[in-house]
Structure 1
C-alpha cells in the first residue's frame, strides 16, 4: 500500500536562507506575471475603449498571460521551482514534493507579489486592474471550470517540471506551462476569467476591494491543483518506481 508522502517540515524552514531566497524568487516571478498579464488588460481597454472580454481582448489576454508565465516560471525555476501560483504549490505539496512550511512561505510571497504588481499598475496607469468575475455562468459552474482548467495546468507542471523522468522534456517545461495557461484562457476567459491561480485573482480583488464570488478563485484552483498533484504522483511517479535489487558491498 502506498503511504502518504506529505511532509510538514520544520518551523525553522521559514527563516532558512535557502527558503527565503526561494520565497523572494516566487515574489518577483509572481510580480512579473501579474504585472504583465493584468497590465495587458488595462492597456487593451485604454487603446480600444472596450472591455478585455471581447474576442480580440481574449486572445490578447491569452497571449500576454502565456508569454508572461513562460518567462516567470523560467526565471524562478532554478531557485524556487517557479510555481508562481498557490494552486501549483498546493498540488506539489499534496504530491509530497514540498513541505508545508515552505509551501506556506511560497503562498505569502505569491500573494504579496500579486498585490505589489496591482498597486504598481494602479500607480503607473491610474487605472485599477479588472477583477475576476463570472459572466453568464453560476458559481458552481465556475468552480468546476476552474477545477478542470487548473487540473490541466498542474498536470502539465508535474509532467514537464516535477516528474523525475522528464529528462529533456524539462527544458521546455516553462514553455509548456505558459502554453497551457494561454489555451485555457481561450476556453474559460469568457465565462469566469480563467484564473487558475488564487494569487492573480487576489491582488486585483484587494486593490479594488471587490470580493464578489472571490472564493470561487480559491476553491476551484486548489481542488483542481490538489487532485492533479495526487493523481500524477500516485499513477505516474509512485507506481513506476521499481524496487532496486539488493547489492552487497
Structure 2
C-alpha cells in the first residue's frame, strides 16, 4: 500500500469515528439530563403546584367549618401529580417521602439533597402564587395558608404529625417501592391517605405530613409559630416507616435481615 493510500485510509477511519463520538457525547448528556436534572425539575414543579393548591384551599376555607375543602384538594392534587410525574421522579413532592424512599432503597443518595432543595423552592414558589392570586384580606386572615397549631399540647401535636406521616410513608413504600406489594393504584392510595389524615388530624396539627408544604407558606407569610413541629413530626414518622419496612414488612430485596 502506498503512502497516499495509507493517509486516505486513516482519514476515512477518523471521519467514521467522529459522528460516533458525537453520538456518545449526546447520549451521555441526555442520560444525565433524564436521570438527574429532569427529576429535580419535576419535583420543583410538582411541589409548586401541590403547595399552590393546598394553600389556596386553606385560604379559601377561612370562615367555614370542617376540613372537606382542604382534605379533598390536597388529596386530589397529590394523586394527579403522582400519576403525571411518578415515572420521571417518583412523584415525592415531600422531603419526608424522599428521605424514606432513599432509606428504603427507592432512590439514589446523589438525588436526595437536590430533591429536597427542589421541593423547598417549589413550596416557596407555590405559596407565592397563592398570595398573588387570592384576596389580601383572606390571605392575611389565614396566615397565608401556613400550618397553624390548634392545640396548646405540643407533644400531642408532634405525635399526631408522626403518626399521620408514618401512615402516609407506609402507603408510599408498600404501594410504590416494595416490589411484593407494588400497585398501579398507588397514586390514588397516596392521595386518599392524605385526605383521610386531614379529616382525622386537621383540627389537631393541620395535618401537614410534608415539610415543604409547611416551609413555603411560612417563608412567604413570615409565619414561624411552632414551625419545628412540621419537620420533627414528618421526619420522625418517615423514620418509623423505614424501621417497619426494613425489618418487618419489606420483601427479601428490601429487608435487611432474614433474607
TM-score range normalised by the length of the shorter chain: 0.7 to 0.9
- Cα deviations across residues 150-183 of structure 1 (Å, max 9, x unaligned)? 000000001111111235x2x1100000000100
Q: Which runs of 4+ in 1 moved over 3 A?
A: 238-242
Tell me whether 1:98 sits opposite 2:107 in the alignment.
yes
- Cα deviations across residues 64-109 of structure 1 (Å, max 9, x unaligned)? 1110111121122100100111000111122232233311111011
- Structure 2 regions of 5+ residues with no counterpart? 1-30
How far apart are the structure 2 equivalents of 1:241 and 1:161?
Answer: 12
1:209 equivalent in structure 2: 222
1:157 equivalent in structure 2: 172
- Equivalent position to 1:234, from 223, 247, 251: 247
User: By how many angstroms is 1:126 displaced?
Assistant: 4.0
Tell me whether 1:76 sits opposite 2:93 in the alignment.
no
1:196 equivalent in structure 2: 209
- Cα deviations across residues 115-159 of structure 1 (Å, max 9, x unaligned)? 001111111124342221211242111111100000000000011
- Structure 1 regions of 5+ residues with no counterpart? 1-14, 243-249
2:72 equivalent in structure 1: 63
2:150 equivalent in structure 1: 135
TM-score by structure 2 length? 0.79
1:36 equivalent in structure 2: 53
1:116 equivalent in structure 2: 125
How far apart are the structure 2 equivalents of 1:111 and 1:152?
Answer: 22
User: By how many angstroms is 1:221 displaced?
Assistant: 0.1
215 and 237 in structure 1: CA distance in 2 versus 1, 3 angstrom threshold:
same
> Which deviates further from its counterpart, 84-93 or 36-45?
36-45
How far apart are the structure 1 equivalents of 2:217 and 2:42?
Answer: 21
> Which deviates further from its counterpart, 144-153 or 27-36?
27-36
How far apart are the structure 2 equivalents of 1:147 and 1:159?
Answer: 18
TM-score by structure 1 length? 0.82
172 and 135 in structure 1: CA distance in 2 versus 1, 3 angstrom threshold:
same
Tell me whether 1:175 sits opposite 2:184 in the alignment.
no
219 and 23 in structure 1: CA distance in 2 versus 1, 3 angstrom threshold:
same
1:245 equivalent in structure 2: none
> Which deviates further from its counterpart, 110-119 or 232-241?
232-241
131 and 21 in structure 1: CA distance in 2 versus 1, 3 angstrom threshold:
same
RMSD (Å), alpha carbons: 1.9
How far apart are the structure 2 equivalents of 1:205 and 1:21?
Answer: 27
How far apart are the structure 2 equivalents of 1:82 and 1:197?
Answer: 13
2:162 equivalent in structure 1: 147
Which structure would you say has the larger Rg? 2
